[in-house]
Structure 1
Amino acid sequence: MKDKWGYEINTDSSSCISSINQYYHQVLSYGRKRDVIIEAVKHDPDCVLANILAAQFSSSPSSYLQAANSNLDNASPYEQAVFETVTCLITPNRDDDLAFDLHFKLLKQYPKDLVSLKRAQVLCFYMGRPDLSLQLVQQVLASNDQQDFVYGMLAFPLLELGRMEDAEKAAKMGFQINNQDPWSQHALCHVYQYECRFKEAVEFMEDCSKSWGPLSSFMNTHNWWHVALCYLEGNAPFEKVCEIYDNRIWKELDRSDATPVEVYLNAVGLLLRVHVRGEIRFFDDQLNILAGYLSDQSFWFLEWHLDLLILWALACTGKLSEARDLLEGLKSRVCAMNPKKGKLMQKGLKLAKAVYEYGRGEFSRALELLGPDFDAENCKMVGASGEQLDVFNEVWYVMLLDAGHADKAIAVIEKQLKKRDGTPFLWRLLERGYLALGKQEVEAISAKAKALESAYF
């Protein structure tokens, strides 16, 4: 029998194929019912594809791996290729380069398999290599012209590479094919936000939000995180940000099928933005409640990006013992990595140390760790987008100003303003720098910031 891509699967169960196809849709649409792949195994316990996909989804993959491996001789060539790539991907302390090469090879032979493309792009995301992610999707684009989901997958690496005009075109193509594709919606929001089109981004996303009910906890709250950031960056009334945190992000936890760790990632990411802007007083209760949950070690070491945010939340709320335990755990994990991966993650570890010091108010030490040439864009291997990482640049700017390094702060802020000159917060930081040095341009900069603060909402 064949799956929705038209590739041969060795099974006699149409129900197994149906469940596999439903799983494909859940993955590509960021649905919350990806566990439907378990149903495929129930319909045919000997199906290699069903088992290997279930192994990737499961927190206890050994039984699925064993079942897939024991029936591998009877599998189709396509199933064998997927088995090889997924097995490599879920191997502890995997070789990322080998996992990428296997996906590249698979997609060369089976270019319609968009789930394998998505899996490979996620791998590239955690490698900090949007260039490789773009290479993969461009490789299969001709075989998937007008196919649902593929243009959102094209748009994301384009925007991560700073190609905003191309990213916008791709995302709009994806949205035209399927206006409920959350990844195309998300990519368009990224572009609008980066280009400081905050009101346009908010209106677009709030209109799209009626389609977000079936989305995973991550995608649902992440899309709302973007909306909150647009309100925050566009200097909207602060009640707008509070409303989204309480009623759109935190409220996701009321759902019986919520995945808490996915909610916490977006919640704590938003609160750090608020903290950098000196407005955390609006969220004192929420931050303390969240830090209490994040003290639970079962949420540690799942996502490096989340660990960075947890470090800040714990240190900022005085949970220094827990924060030190988390930091020591990150150090141990880096030491246990293969040499190539361990070397790459040194940047992530240095950032983790700096975030811990920042959280507990040791700004001089944090600045020393980040160094004079820090740019969070170079830390994508922690598994975060440029937009998610940008908050660490903001942390750096504020610490430079607080430490009296106004000349350095002005230089890096002006460099950032060349990319995003419609951001009121950056102009206010620049104003601080010029004021500290007694420069006469401060009045013009203050006027620019004031004008932008009333320009969007």
Structure 2
Amino acid sequence: MLKMEAEMKLDRWGYQVRTSSDACISAINSYYHQVLSYERKRAVILEAPKSDPECVLGNILAAHFLCSADPSRTPEFVNAAKSHLECATSYEKAVFEVIQYLISSDRDDDLAVQLHSKLLQEFPKDLLSLKRAQVLCFYMGRLDLFLGIVEQVLPINEHEDYIYGMLAFALLELGRMDDAEKAGKKGYELNKDDVWSQHALCHVYQYECRFKEAVEFMINCAQSWGSLSSFMYTHNWWHIALCYLEGHAAMTKVQDIYDERIWKELERSDATAPEVYLNAAGLLLRLFVRGAHDILKDRLNELANCVTDQAFWFLEWHFDILILWTLSCTGRFNEAEDLLKGLNSRVSMMSKTKQQQMHRGLTLAEALYRYGKGEYKEAVELLGHNFDAINYKIIGASDEQLDVFTEVHITLLLETGEASAAIQAIEKQLNKREGAPFLWYLLEKACLILGREEAASYGQKAKQLEAAYFT
């Protein structure tokens, strides 16, 4: 009994872990912090199995980290965990079961969510497993599922800061902006450095066209971003750049953020390039839709030169779609066609259910390829007149990231002489975001095409809104 007690440690959540190594449990707890705070030293989890090769939790968490960082090494850590599973605690066994299934090649996403829900019923303080559930549901386009899970464990975690950022993000993605703002503020009050609460609040302010408030809030938070992962650091600045862009601030502000806060991240020795490229491409597409070609050309070519490297392909659908546009827009048609063929090939190997789910992703991918080539008629035919980007969450993008595809669709309608259909699409967006000047400019353009008298008043509305944001 004394020996068994000596071999037991409690992790951050207070759950038992079979190890006699203080260094092992310290590495596990540090990993929890790194993931939940979106910091860049998540490789700290590899110290756990070094300190205790027999620790099941340390090994299986390392396996999950390596699944994206270095997949070839994943099996050795899964096997190490499995070989000592008999001696593991019930908590470790539950985490092992969930992660082993999560990283399996033939997993069913719905079952993976169910397994996470089951684990959290028994171990509700495990916020790392809750974060995994959030990420899983996000890439399924099903944050409604995640909301049920986070609300399930909220009562026992009501004083934990990280949970409120996760709650806020689920709420905002489901259109419950008031509730999302309350949850985000709660998380921010508990921990002003909780980046996911900061990020969720920015989402709310941006959606509600409170651009100046969003920028001031995020700039005030920026001093806490130095240790963030490449994705989270550049993504936060991406949000600020979009607020400047949507609020019609000086274009130099957007340009400076791209150059100094996004692209410059690549100069860091510990930068993760695909995470930078994702946010860079997302911002450049916004600029392209708005016709800011004077600051686009060199930057877009520089990005295209980087993403011709196939090592960056097939990491996630949203990124692949942005790469397709980047390549085709810069005349790299052979590479773009290879990427598109690769996406089709991958979908063909999926289950029938998954193929049906990803059909929209393929359609959007081809449409952005055509858009980049200037084949506007073909692109709009792929998307159809009733396109709504909100139905494409399966590509693993937030509502804010998806909005640009709605803007692309509207501009395609205008470019192909479908002004009446464009007006319907614009008005649908204005019902959600009446304070967005760009939408009023698009409405003005559509009405000018149709010779409608009210066009001038829409242009004036856009200018009035711009004057209220940044001067």
TM score, norm. by length of structure 2? 0.96
Shift of 1:337: 1.2
Q: Does 1:34 align with 2:42?
A: yes
Q: Does 1:442 align with 2:450?
A: no
2:161 touches 2:188 (CA, 8 Å); kept in 1?
A: no
Q: Does 1:87 align with 2:95?
A: no
Q: Residue in 2 aligned with 1:431?
A: 444
How do 1:160-199 and structure 2 match up within 5 A? Answer: 160-199=173-212
Say which of 12, 36, 48 aligns to 1:4: 12
Q: Residue in 2 aligned with 1:320?
A: 333
Q: Does 1:293 align with 2:306?
A: yes
Q: In 1, distance between residues paired with 2:106 and 2:300?
A: 33
1:348 touches 1:381 (CA, 8 Å); kept in 2?
A: yes
Q: In 2, distance between residues paired with 1:444 and 1:287?
A: 35
Q: Does 1:132 align with 2:140?
A: no
Q: In 2, distance between residues paired with 1:412 and 1:140?
A: 39
Q: Share of identical aligned residues, percent?
A: 63
Q: Residues 112-132 of structure 1: CA distance to partner in whole angstroms, max 9, x if unpaired? A: 000000001100001000101
Runs of 5+ consecutive residues of structure 1 not aligned to the other structure: none
Q: Residues 194-223 of structure 1: CA distance to partner in whole angstroms, max 9, x if unpaired? A: 000000000110110000001000000000
* Residue identity matched to 2:336: A
Q: Does 1:250 align with 2:263?
A: yes
How do 1:12-27 and structure 2 match up within 5 A? Answer: 12-27=20-35
Q: Residue in 1 aligned with 2:370?
A: 357
Consecutive aligned runs of 4 or more in structure 1 exceeding 2 Å deviation: none
Q: Residue in 1 aligned with 2:5?
A: none
1:305 touches 1:382 (CA, 8 Å); kept in 2?
A: yes
Secondary structure at the residue paired with 1:440? coil
* Residue identity matched to 2:15: Y
Secondary structure at the residue paired with 1:455? helix
Q: Residue in 2 aligned with 1:56?
A: 64
Q: Residues 11-49 of structure 1: CA distance to partner in whole angstroms, max 9, x if unpaired? A: 111111111000000000001000000001100011110
Shift of 1:281: 2.2
CA shift in 2, pair 1:47/1:101, >3 Å: same
Secondary structure at the residue paired with 1:9? strand
1:149 touches 1:174 (CA, 8 Å); kept in 2?
A: yes
How do 1:120-159 and structure 2 match up within 5 A? Answer: 120-159=133-172
TM score, norm. by length of structure 1? 0.99
* Residue identity matched to 2:460: A
Secondary structure at the residue paired with 2:154? helix
How do 1:183-222 and structure 2 match up within 5 A? Answer: 183-222=196-235
Say which of 391, 397, 414 aligns to 2:410: 397
1:48 touches 1:71 (CA, 8 Å); kept in 2?
A: yes
Q: In 2, distance between residues paired with 1:451 and 1:93?
A: 54
* Residue identity matched to 1:55: A
* Residue identity matched to 1:414: E
Q: In 2, distance between residues paired with 1:337 and 1:71?
A: 33
Q: In 2, distance between residues paired with 1:244 and 1:280?
A: 17
Q: In 2, distance between residues paired with 1:93 and 1:75?
A: 26
Secondary structure at the residue paired with 1:35? helix
Q: Residues 156-214 of structure 1: CA distance to partner in whole angstroms, max 9, x if unpaired? A: 01000000000000000000000010000000000000000000000110110000001
How do 1:399-418 and structure 2 match up within 5 A? Answer: 399-418=412-431
Q: Does 1:107 align with 2:115?
A: no
Say which of 268, 272, 276 aligns to 1:263: 276
Q: In 1, distance between residues paired with 2:452 and 2:314?
A: 46
Q: Residues 77-124 of structure 1: CA distance to partner in whole angstroms, max 9, x if unpaired? A: 111111111111111142101111100100111000000000011000
Q: In 1, distance between residues paired with 2:355 and 2:133?
A: 21
Q: Residue in 2 aligned with 1:310?
A: 323
Shift of 1:283: 2.1
Q: Residue in 2 aligned with 1:233?
A: 246
Say which of 67, 78, 85 aligns to 1:65: 78
Q: In 1, distance between residues paired with 2:346 and 2:369?
A: 17
Q: In 1, distance between residues paired with 2:126 and 2:306?
A: 38
Q: Does 1:224 align with 2:232?
A: no
Q: Residues 335-357 of structure 1: CA distance to partner in whole angstroms, max 9, x if unpaired? A: 11122112101110111111111
Shift of 1:453: 2.1
1:93 touches 1:338 (CA, 8 Å); kept in 2?
A: no
Q: In 2, distance between residues paired with 1:148 and 1:155?
A: 12
1:180 touches 1:211 (CA, 8 Å); kept in 2?
A: yes
Q: Residue in 1 aligned with 2:3?
A: none
Question: In angstroms, what is the RMSD of aligned CA positions?
Answer: 0.7
Q: Does 1:382 align with 2:390?
A: no
Q: Does 1:272 align with 2:285?
A: yes
Shift of 1:371: 1.3
Q: In 1, distance between residues paired with 2:23 and 2:280?
A: 39
* Residue identity matched to 2:221: C
Q: In 1, distance between residues paired with 2:81 and 2:359?
A: 36
* Residue identity matched to 1:332: S
Q: In 2, distance between residues paired with 1:85 and 1:367?
A: 42
Runs of 5+ consecutive residues of structure 2 not aligned to the other structure: 1-8
* Residue identity matched to 2:86: D
1:93 touches 1:337 (CA, 8 Å); kept in 2?
A: no
